[in-house]
Amino acid sequence: MPRIFIFVGLILLLCLLLPPAIIARVRSTPNSNLPIHIIQDMAFQSKYKTQAVNPLFADGNTMRPPVMNAVARGETYLDAHLYDGVIDGQWANVLPSQIKMDFATLRRGQERFNIYCSVCHGISGGGNGIVNQRAMELVANTNGPVNGTVWVQAKNLVHDELVTVQPMGQLFNSITYGIRNMAGYGSQIPTEDRWAIAAYVKALQRSQNALASDVPAGTKVTDNASASPTHVQLSNATVNSFTNPSTSIAEVK
């Protein structure tokens, strides 16, 4: 084969590499021009953008207000018990019918409480979570509060009389909408989980205000329980104390 063919062949091969090289170069170079858009599909169409002036409507706004009295699908919050913790204008003492008081609910409540609430209120609900400890440290600084830190202590949920007397519905309401300096968790925690947490707070209160008479006769009660446990044990007895009508939530304190 004449050498010329080999040369020409090599040059053609090199030429083949040119297009991919050019494409790679163009793709990696920033450019303020619109890219070449060969297949248009519906990429460009006449429309009004959200904040644009719109002559079609009398008020000139493109974004329309919701139609009066319209309710979005799945957003009918008519059940006052389920969504506000209220029955006939009174705080509810019981879980709404949609939620079962059982071991699974309390377990879920414990897990969610430990995630969302323990940082401030502490694992045992005593009000001394890690955020609280740190805030107190900053406030108690010898040269005055660091960066002007101001801190309202998270409530002691298990020993503060103001909280322990509250029905479950009131706890649920505080969790949902917040209370004074505490923000609401309605948008972060789903409704069912907020009820589970409220039930678990009741369980925490029950467990930490238990009397010797609460344990079955004959059981030995030791007096060395830690004042602020780092782990809270749930047992079926806790659930029974809720489901057994003789110890209704109202009495659980």
**CB 130, min distance to ligand HEC, A:** 10
Q: Are 195 and 249 in contact (CB under 8 A)?
A: no
Q: Is 203 exposed, middle or buried (0-12, 13-18, 19+ CB in 10 A)?
A: buried
**CB 159, min distance to ligand HEC, A:** 12
Beta-bridge partner residues of 143: none
Would you say 175 or 239 has its CB closer to ligand HEC? 175
Q: Is 103 exposed, middle or buried (0-12, 13-18, 19+ CB in 10 A)?
A: middle
Would you say 86 or 197 has its CB closer to ligand HEC? 197
What single DSSP character describes residue 28?
T
**CB 79, min distance to ligand HEC, A:** 21
Would you say 24 or 136 has its CB closer to ligand HEC? 136
Q: Are 67 and 61 in contact (CB under 8 A)?
A: no
**CB 112, min distance to ligand HEC, A:** 7
Q: Note the residues at the interface with ligand HEC (CB under 6 A).
A: 116-117, 119-121, 131, 152, 154-155, 157, 162-163, 171, 174-175, 179-182, 185, 197, 201
**CB 108, min distance to ligand HEC, A:** 13
Would you say 48 or 177 has its CB closer to ligand HEC? 177
Would you say 48 or 151 has its CB closer to ligand HEC? 151
The alpha carbon dihedral of 207, 208, 211, 216 has a sign of: positive
The alpha carbon dihedral of 52, 55, 61, 66 has a sign of: negative
